[in-house]
Amino acid sequence: MIERYSIPEMEAIWSDENRFSRWLEIELLAVEARCGLGAVPRADLDLLRSKARFDPARIAVIENTVKHDVIAFLMSVSESLGPESRHIHYGMTSSDILDTALATQLRDAGALLTGALDAWGGSLAGLVRRTRGIPCMGRTHGMHAEPTTFALKFAGHHAEYRRCRERLESALADVCTGKLSGAVGTYAHLDPSVEEFVCARLGLRPETVATQVVPRDRHAAFLWALASIGGALERFATEIRHLQRTEVSEAEEPFGKGQRGSSAMPHKRNPITCERLCGMARLLRSYLLVGLEDTCLWHERDISHSSAERFVLPDACGVALYSLRKACEVADGLCICEQGAMGHLASAGDGFYSQTVLLAMVDSGADRNAAYASVQAAAARASEAGRSFVEEVCGDPSITAVLPSGSIRAMCSLERHLRHEGDILKRAGLE
For 167-191, write each residue's pLDDT tens digit: 999 999 999 999 999 999 999 999 9
Higher pLDDT, 349 or 74: 74
Average pLDDT, the chain: 95
Is 411 in contact with 405 (CB distance < 8 Å)?
no
Amino acid 347: pLDDT:
86
CA distance 353 to 327: 35
- Predicted TM-score (pTM) of the model is 0.92
Contacts of 22 by beta carbon, 8 Å cutoff, 6+ apart: 101, 104, 105
What is the DSSP pairing of strand 143-149 with strand 251-252? unpaired
Residue 269 banded pLDDT, cuts 50, 70, 90: confident
Residues contacting 74, CB < 8 A, separation 6+? 88, 89
Q: What is the DSSP string of 218-241?
A: HHHHHHHHHHHHHHHHHHHHHHHH
pLDDT band at 118 (very low <50, low <70, confident <90, very high): very high
Asked if 251 and 244 touch (Cβ cutoff 8 Å), the reply is yes
What is the C-alpha separation between 86 and 187, in angstroms, rounded?
Answer: 19
* Catalytic status, residue 141: yes
Q: What is the pLDDT of residue 240?
A: 97
Convert the pLDDT of each residue in 190-240 to its tens digit.
999 999 999 999 999 999 999 989 999 999 999 999 999 999 999 999 999
Alpha helix ranges (H) inside 37-180: 42-51, 56-66, 69-78, 94-131, 150-175
User: Rounded CA gap, 65 and 411, in Å?
Assistant: 82
* Amino acid of residue 334: L
> Under a CB-based contact definition with an 8 Å cutoff, are residues 361 and 399 in contact?
yes
- The model's confidence at residue 348, banded by pLDDT at 50, 70 and 90, is confident
What is the average per-residue pLDDT within 5-29? 97
Strands 251-252 and 335-336: antiparallel
Task: Give me the pLDDT at residue 431, please.
Answer: 80
Which whole number is the average pLDDT over 2-8? 91
Active site residue 267: no
| Coil, helix or strand at residue 194 | helix
pLDDT band of 11, cuts 50, 70, 90: very high
Annotated catalytic residue within 15, 193, 262, 364: 262
Find the catalytic residue in 141, 299, 307, 347.
141
Nearest to 20 by CA among 50, 48, 57: 57
CA 10 from chain centre, in angstroms, equals 16
1, pLDDT greater than 80: no
Predicted local distance difference test score (pLDDT) of residue 154: 97
The CA distance from 246 to 253, in Å, is 13
CATH fold for domain 94-254+266-344: Fumarase C; Chain A, domain 2 (1.20.200)
Q: Looking at the domain that runs over 3-87, which CATH code has it been given?
A: 1.10.275.10
Domain 3-87 and domain 94-254+266-344, same fold? Reply is no
| pLDDT tens digits along 382-419 | 999 989 999 999 999 999 999 999 999 999 999 998 99
> Could you tell me the residue ranges of all domains in the chain?
3-87, 94-254+266-344, 351-411
Q: How far apart are CA 425 and CA 431, in angstroms?
A: 5
Element at 27 (helix H, strand E): helix 16-36
Give the C-alpha distances (Å, rounded to integers) separating 1 from 4, 11, 98, 320, 333: 8, 8, 20, 11, 26
Note the pLDDT tens digit of each residue in 279-327. Answer: 999 999 999 999 999 999 999 888 889 889 999 999 999 999 999 999 9
